[in-house]
Chains A and B, each alone.
Chain A
């Protein structure tokens, strides 16, 4: 074999894959061609380990306009001639090496995926995971990521409406930085990333091309972290100002009929942009690397083709319209150059002047091998799922106050306000519900409608039971939307796992995806886009399996949206859904982790009940019966009640609840399918009737009242004291501790 193992390692191809390329091509590839294969056959671009599994996701529905993989992002129709474009993407590996730029360019990339399609980006969200803040390195990563998101996102004028932040040991040195962007477009202005029409022109717009980000897709995203330290040059540097100009100029362009398509340059740069748009349009492309404006002298064709310099767009211009397109970009002071043209022969041809430096059939580059593997459940999992509750001391009633305050101050539950206030969450004049509620709500101007947006994914549950963890991730995201009064419409998912070549990790991925797909089918929510991030490992240890579900829902009448905070003195408070106390529900809970230092047990969910609960709650909100609704999740019933008090600035007094079973399970257990609602006393009978009709349990918990949270015989705390723990929890854990 003429290439060395080291060369193959640089581009993360196996020897077998190399042999396959030689066989398909009928000859040895040259250096440029091999680099192109490496990039497009990487997991990041080619999904070779995940493609077979991802087919399980349901993606068809009447309102779905663009399905996963068809374009840069998924699209749904929301009526009134409007479409929602949405996608989530990971930037984990770059952020682990250079957190500020890694997180910043993560925003840049996902925003380009949205406006490429002719949609104006109207919301950003981030799902973040870090190791414990007791470590200086993790604090550094946390600060870097948050300020990178703020610096880049705030400059663009797109509101960042929250998301989630979660801490666990497994993310030490390997943070997860997932960015979601949602855009809105007139259906008629939707633009495709397709190259077609022989003779049409390829125009490169925006930043010059440099050596930054070489091997981002094949290198960074396809290997584990101990190998990464020498790859700092694989991290790109962002220029949000340039991105802002690109947004405005490209959106202006999508209202003309001068172009046939548009594609952003992300992972694998020019290579993937040209080849993927040619593949979608069933044609060929020919480009001349000498026509690509460069940031540095002496760049080789290989470097030009694989550079991941940020803020670049490929515009497919109709022949004869190039002067008009150029004039539009000139007005925005953006550089634009014609670098090639569309051909009819189905070949990706790269030239350096007259010399051909690469010539490969497009179809070969976009058909990487697909791996399917048979794996069995790892033995350690069985042991992990057994939680002997008898060996864990239950709490005594007089310690309940202290434990509640401890949980409220723990970073996973504490208010994330100190982070979200660093993001502009109001620009655009649409944000109705600010970050920090179950879901963010944005109204849609010119209509009565609003959308509701959330991200969710409890990775501890997925670690303990990958299948049910996957089910719960989808169910809980939907429950969050329902609590805001929205009907769930679509999912974008970001699947973060370890090295899929290891049996245990592949098993986790396979089971998580199967569980998510099951919940999607049961709750009838299609998956419209997504991203896979593998090889999230440090020192041979994988992260928890972490599927992140981004979900959007529709509120028909924005005035009927619902929030989590209690509203009026005297309102009756009920628990809807699973009303039994189940001792095993402390398994996998935040309580078990924080108080007993244990991640054990087996989460459980009844999807049938979940579905009825969500229908019941949504109907109650639509009929104006509820004054508040809050998902009961991490920290259990006591934390959920405390949050409803804190968000509403008003207290709660329970009835005599007479719990059966363990007290810790009653207060802090995390049984699924539970929503805490408040309702004015004269409407209580209506809720009762609805719950009865949907076959959903309903228990009276107490009354909204005063300035204290009182759970008779167990909890009695002033709202101000709850607030101190909850508001300062995150800031306190970030304090310097020598």
Chain B
């Protein structure tokens, strides 16, 4: 079981993802340069956070044209797992692998803070070890994190159970005050229809040790491992 962590120019969560997967979970992860096109040695692709191409034009708008993204689309079309975190989520939306967009935060300020996520769908490969309604403490760090989709898309997402995480209170109540950026329906993470491509704004790789405030992010990596090894 091997994770591939993609590095675009301007990516900065690559090392944190590597640390969480290799040093904390104890699984194998390697780096994938944005010009590479062969992903055959990986079982799960991680698009980490950062400011790919400086977020110039729009976050993710330039990175989606990287050579590696054609390979990622191919990889996803084979039903293999892809997870996009923060800037990675933005890249997935820009490339059309996930519906909707990430707009500038409602208050027009950058936000770095702890958030609480309610698990809305436990039957995905990324949440297989979690319970529905369980609350995870995982931080955000972004300027463009306000999830938005048109009404039709939104209805479809909700009806299909494609909303995987919602911002909530520590007790799991979904309230306006618990929404850090103005995302529609408090959406923090969504999955595609085929349930093999996940995008989320919060950073699970940062919630990897109690010393740093939370180890809840590990459950997501562990779910991925369990799903893949269970299938194998």
Interfacial residues, chain A to chain B (CB-CB below 8 A): 147, 150-151, 154-157, 239-242, 244-245, 332-333, 421-432, 443, 445, 558-559
**B112 interface residue, CB < 8 Å from A?**
yes
The interface of chain B, by Cβ under 8 A from chain A, is 9-10, 12-13, 15-16, 19-20, 23, 50-51, 53-56, 109-113, 139, 141, 143, 203, 205-206, 208-209, 211-212
A155 contacts B55, C-beta separation under 8 Å:
yes
Of the residues A150, A241, A421, A430, contact of B56 by C-beta under 8 Å: A241
Contact A241 B19 (CB under 8 A): no
Could you say which of B13, B20, B54, B209 contacts A241, with CB atoms under 8 Å apart? B54
Q: How close is B54's CB to chain A, nearest CB, in angstroms?
A: 3
- Pick the residue among A154, A157, A244 that contacts B110 (CB under 8 A): A154
A56 to B96, CA, bound (A): 63
20 A/B residue pairs, CB under 8 Å, sorted by A:
A147-B109, A151-B110, A154-B51, A155-B10, A155-B54, A156-B12, A157-B13, A239-B54, A240-B51, A240-B54, A241-B55, A244-B12, A244-B54, A245-B10, A333-B9, A421-B111, A421-B112, A422-B111, A426-B141, A443-B211
Chain B binding surface, main DSSP class: mixed
- State which of A150, A242, A423, A426 has its C-beta within 8 Å of the C-beta of B212: A426
Q: Which residues of A contact B16 (CB under 8 A)?
A: 427-429
User: Measured between alpha carbons, how far is A422 from B23 in the docked complex, in Å?
Assistant: 29
User: When chains A and B are docked, how far (Å) is the Cα of A424 from the Cα of B12?
Assistant: 12
Q: Do A425 and B54 form a contact, CB below 8 Å, given A156-B12, A245-B9, A558-B211?
A: no
Apart from A422-B110, A429-B212: 19 A-B pairs, beta carbons within 8 A: A150-B110, A151-B110, A154-B143, A157-B12, A241-B54, A244-B12, A421-B112, A424-B141, A426-B141, A426-B203, A427-B12, A427-B16, A428-B16, A429-B19, A429-B20, A429-B208, A430-B212, A431-B212, A445-B23
B113 to chain A: which residues have CB within 8 Å?
421
Once A244-B12, A244-B51, A429-B206 are accepted as A-B contacts, the answer to whether A445 and B141 lie under 8 Å apart by CB is no
Compute how far the CA of A428 lies from the CA of B49 in the bound complex, rounded to whole angstroms. 12
Measured CB to CB, the closest approach of chain B to A327, in angstroms, equals: 14
A654 to B15, CA, bound (A): 48
Q: From A431, which residue of chain B is reached at the shortest CB distance?
A: B212
Chain A contacts of B53 at CB under 8 A?
A: 241
- What's the minimum C-beta distance from B215 to chain A, rounded to whole angstroms? 12
Minimal Cβ-Cβ distance residue in B for A151 = B110
Q: What 7 pairs across the A-B complex have the smallest Cβ distances?
A: A157-B12, A241-B54, A155-B51, A424-B141, A422-B110, A424-B112, A429-B16
A310 CB, min distance to chain B CBs, angstroms? 14
Return chain B residues, CB-CB under 8 Å to A147: 109
B88 to chain A, nearest CB (A): 14
Cα(A467)–Cα(B110), bound, Å:
40
A428 to B209, CA, bound (A): 13
Of the candidates A151, A155, A242, A423, the one whose C-beta lies within 8 Å of that of B112 is A423
Select A432's contact among B141, B203, B212, beta carbons within 8 Å.
B212
Chain A residues with CB below 8 A from B141, complex form: 154, 424, 426-427
B206 contacts A432, CB within 8 Å? no
The residue in chain A whose Cβ has the minimal distance to the Cβ of B16 is A429
Residues of A contacting B50 with CB < 8 Å?
A: 157
Contact check: which of B20, B110, B139, B211 meets A426 at CB < 8 Å? Answer: B139
Known: A154-B143, A424-B141. A332 touches B9 (CB 8 A): yes
- The smallest C-beta distance from B91 to any residue of chain A, in angstroms, reads 15
B15 — which chain A residues lie within 8 A by C-beta?
428
Check B205–A429 contact: CB distance below 8 A. yes
Q: Which residues of B contact A151 (CB under 8 A)?
A: 110
Cβ A425 vs Cβ B12 within 8 A: no
Residues of B contacting A155 with CB < 8 Å?
10, 51, 54-55
In the complex, the answer to whether B9 meets A241 with C-beta atoms within 8 Å is yes
Chain B neighbourhood of A559, CB < 8 A: 211
- Residues in B with CB closer than 8 Å to A421 are 111-113
In-complex Cβ contact of B51 among A241, A423, A445 (8 A): A241
The docked-state distance in angstroms from the alpha carbon of A430 to that of B54 is 24
A425–B19 Cα distance when bound, in Å, is 17
CB distance from A545 to the nearest CB of B (A): 33
Complex: A150 Cα to B105 Cα, angstroms: 14
Among the interface residues A333, A426, A430, which one has the most CB atoms of the partner chain B within 10 A? A426
> How far, in angstroms, from A424 to B203 measured CA to CA in the complex?
12
Bound CA span A245–B8, Å: 10
* Chain B residues whose C-beta falls within 8 Å of the C-beta of A558 in the assembled complex: 211
- Name the residue of chain B whose CB is nearest to the CB of A418: B109
CA distance A430 to B50 in the complex (A): 17
Which one of B20, B205, B211 has the greatest number of beta carbons of chain A within 10 Å? B211
Specify which of A156, A241, A245, A431 lies most central, judged by the most chain B CB atoms within 10 Å of its CB.
Answer: A241
A428-B16, A429-B20 given as contacts; is B111 within 8 A of A244 (CB)?
Answer: no
Contact partner of A423 (CB less than 8 A), chosen from B55, B110, B208, B211, is B110
Q: Which residues in A have their C-beta under 8 angstroms from that of B54?
A: 155, 239-242, 244
Given the complex, which residues of B lie within 8 Å of A154, measured CB to CB? Answer: 51, 110, 112, 141, 143
Determine the residue in chain B with the shortest Cβ distance to A155: B51
Residues of B within 8 A of A240 (CB): 51, 54
> Within 8 Å CB of A239, what residues of B?
54
A707→B23 CA distance, assembly (Å): 40
**In the complex, what's the smallest C-beta–C-beta distance from B161 to chain A, in angstroms?**
30
- CB nearest to B24 among chain A residues: A429
In the docked arrangement, what's the CA distance between A427 and B111, Å?
A: 13
Tell me, rounded to whole Å, the shortest Cβ–Cβ distance linking B107 to chain A: 10
Residues from chain A with Cβ under 8 Å of B143 in the complex: 154
A156–B211 CA distance with the chains assembled, in angstroms: 24
Smallest distance from the beta carbon of B24 to chain A beta carbons, Å? 9
Whole-angstrom distance between the Cβ of B115 and the nearest chain A Cβ:
12
Closest to B20 in A: A429
CA distance A426 to B114 in the complex (A): 10
Identify the closest chain B residue to A159 (Cβ).
Answer: B112
User: Which residues of chain B are within 8 angstroms of A424 by Cβ–Cβ distance?
Assistant: 110, 112, 141
Cα–Cα distance between A558 and B211 once the two chains are bound (Å) = 9
Q: Which listed residue (B23, B51, B56, B112) contacts A425, Cβ 8 A?
A: B112
Task: Note all chain A residues with C-beta closer than 8 A to B208.
Answer: 429
B13 proximity list for chain A (CB < 8 A): 157, 427
Which residues on the A side are within 8 Å of B109 (C-beta)? 147, 150, 422
- Complex Cα distance, B184 from A102, in Å, reads 36
B14's nearest neighbour on chain A, judged by CB, is A157
